[in-house]
Amino acid sequence: MEFILIWLLMSTERIASVLASGGSTLISIAIWGFVLSYVANVVTSSNAATFEAQKPKMQKLRKWMIVLGFVGFFGSGMGALLPDKKEMAIIIGGGLTYKVLASDDAKQIGKAAIDAIMNQVESNLQEPVVVPEIVPEVAVPATPTVDETVSDKVATPLAE
């Protein structure tokens, strides 16, 4: 079973392209067959006996062309709806994840995790809350500005 899934995962794009191209080919054959059956009707319509003899064959041909057209249409549609590799991986991964999470073991683990969290919260609420002391702010000396440091360094003229 797993091998089929892996094969589908690896070949979905090729299958989609085959379905799309095959569907387009069948639609083309159906259209040309339909057109050719009408052309054959026009050609044989000049002779009434030939026309009446060919009429059941042409009707059967038209029915087959309609069937081919529908098969081609659905083949092209399936080629467009078939997921690519990334979408197929998401579908398979999501399904497996859901299967694991829906198992009884996962439900027990989830229940145990919730119980552990609730016990931890309850124990934290029962302990007294210790508020740390507020440390008084220490005054930081102001740093000199650029103007003050430059004025200290400028030489003053000698008093005469």
pLDDT in tens, 91-147: 888 888 888 888 888 888 888 888 889 888 888 777 776 767 776 666 666 666 555
Q: Hey, is 1 helix, strand or coil?
A: coil
Q: H-type helices in the chain, by residue range? A: 2-44, 48-81, 85-101, 104-126, 146-153
pLDDT in tens, 21-36: 777 788 888 888 878 7
Helix axes 2-44, 48-81, angle to 10 degrees: 160
Task: Answer whether 0.75 is exceeded by the pTM.
Answer: no
- Answer for the pair 75, 19: CB distance below 8 angstroms, yes or no: yes
Q: What is the DSSP letter of 159?
A: P
End-to-end CA distance of the chain, in Å?
108
156: pLDDT strictly greater than 60: no
What whole-number distance in Å separates Cα of residue 155 and Cα of residue 158?
9
Candidates 71, 74, 51; CA nearest to 63 is 71
| DSSP structure string for 84-101 | -HHHHHHHHHHHHHHHHH
